[in-house]
Amino acid sequence: MGDRQDQGSAREQLVWAALDSFRIELPSWGFANTGTRFGKFVQAAAATTIAERFADAGEVHRLTGASPTIALHVLWDLPNGTADAAQIRALEQQHGVRAGSINPNIFQSQEYKFGSIANPSSEIRKVALGHLLESVEISRALGSRDISLWVADGSNYPGTQSIRKRICWMEEVLSAVHAAMDDSQRLLIEYKPFEPAYYHTDIADWGMALHLARVAGPRAKVLVDTGHHYPGTNIEQIVAWLLHVDALGGFHFNDRKYADDDLTLGSIDPYQVFRIFHEILTTAESAQTEIAYMIDQSHNLKGKMEAMVQSVVTAQELFAKAALVDRERLGRLQNECRLVEAEECFREAFWSDVRPMVRAWREAHGLPAHPLSALAESGYVERIGRERGGRNMQAVSTYA
């Protein structure tokens, strides 16, 4: 009995230590009205202003205690660039969440039809570089570490663009961005093999992102968005390699069944998130702190607040499960090729019900034991639905 209790408390300690260190960033755009390429689905409670996005993120952080930062998209959240930094500062104070990664937007303006940093026109590449340099300034003004860049560039038909020349153009621009950063800043380069380009995407996979990061400079790293892979890709293997070469900057977490579906983290394949966390936990602690966990989701049908709380809670649970893997024993079993025992050692952690321990951790930290029920009971979603509903319902959008 004594033994069992000791084991129980040892497991609890592992889970608590994991939860103490675990933080995941919320995307400002995850609170906004979104849809598919066929149309937007408007929700009464969606956030349309930056103040509303901060308020919602603050509420998620109050409920979970694990999401103290909010990722900002420059054009959507700081349309006036650095001039908006003071307003962001005030919102940080007001809502108890800080500005997190700064996401430049070089995919929306008309001039980027044929590309941004890989556009054949040097004039347009200059425009894109200007926006990236402004993003560096914004991040500096807000004291945020990461500039998180997704490049939508690509082409739709074979032979219409020079893939090789476009590599050189991207190298030039990203090196210039790196040169403008100071030692406290990082450039995270995201990759994605498809959408919006249909034939070739300029930064399609982690190898291309890694190459560009290396050319840009030592503070450029790779960002893994879990939805940005072909079905069946072994993402934890990519994570292991990026850890090995010290180039893993962070994650955009979301789940998917088919493509870049941006579903709630762990909703389709929680085992995959567990396997990713396991790879990370095999790494030295000092390296782990350099990995930015971020959510990148778009909740078209579910309530945005509810989906975001679910995401944070699921991330915490899966991280706690991964912390339970007996890595010393697993290492021995792997070396001795005791395959079934190794697999069972791994699975045992995944199938452990960590929820009672996570609840205890929440209560000990003055947080609600059940964040999702606490959200429902608080009446927050109804209140913002009443306050924002009128404005949101006017914002109907159609495809054609």
Q: Where along the sequence are the contacts to ligand RM4 (CB under 6 A)?
A: 103, 150, 190, 192, 225, 252, 260, 296
Give me 204's structure tokens. Answer: 């399609």
Shortest CB 251 distance to ligand RM4, Å: 11
146 in contact with Mn ion (CB under 5 A): no
DSSP codes, 69-122: EEEEEHHHH-TTGGGGHHHHHHHHHHHT-EEEEEE---SSSGGGGG-STT-S-H
Residue nearest to ligand RM4 (CB): 150
Residues 282-341 that bind Mn ion (CB under 5 A): 296
Distance CA 57, CA 63 (A): 10
Distance CA 217, CA 177 (A): 10
Q: Tell me the pairing of strands 186-190 and 146-150.
A: parallel
**Residue from 25, 52, 92, 260 that binds Mn ion (CB under 5 A)?**
260
**Cβ burial 272-287 (10 Å sphere, 16+ → b, else e):** bbbbbbbbbbebeeee
Shortest CB 119 distance to Mn ion, Å: 21
Q: Is 267 helix (H, G, I), strand (E, B) or coil?
A: coil
CB 53 within 8 A of CB 70: yes
Give me 161's structure tokens. Answer: 């663009």
Shortest CB 134 distance to Mn ion, Å: 20
Q: Which stretch binds Mn ion (CB under 5 A): 19-27, 104-112, 255-263, 304-312?
A: 255-263
Residues 208-247 that bind Mn ion (CB under 5 A): 225
- Give the residue with the Cβ less far from ligand RM4, 62 or 299: 299
- Give the residue with the Cβ less far from ligand RM4, 84 or 225: 225
Give the ranges where the chain is alpha helix by DSSP (H). 2-21, 50-64, 74-77, 85-95, 122-142, 163-180, 206-216, 235-244, 270-281, 285-288, 304-323, 327-335, 339-351, 355-364, 371-378, 380-394
- End-to-end C-alpha distance for the chain, whole angstroms: 68
**Among Mn ion, ligand RM4, none, what does residue 103 contact (CB within 5–8 Å per kind)?**
ligand RM4
- Give the residue with the Cβ less far from ligand RM4, 145 or 192: 192
- Give the residue with the Cβ less far from ligand RM4, 150 or 277: 150
- Give the residue with the Cβ less far from Mn ion, 233 or 282: 233
- Give the residue with the Cβ less far from ligand RM4, 28 or 381: 28
**Among Mn ion, ligand RM4, none, what does residue 251 contact (CB within 5–8 Å per kind)?**
none
Shortest CB 262 distance to Mn ion, Å: 6
Shortest CB 203 distance to ligand RM4, Å: 11
**Among Mn ion, ligand RM4, none, what does residue 279 contact (CB within 5–8 Å per kind)?**
none
Give me 73's structure tokens. Answer: 């998209």
- Give the residue with the Cβ less far from ligand RM4, 153 or 260: 260
Residue ranges that bind Mn ion, judged by CB under 5 A: 225, 252, 260, 296
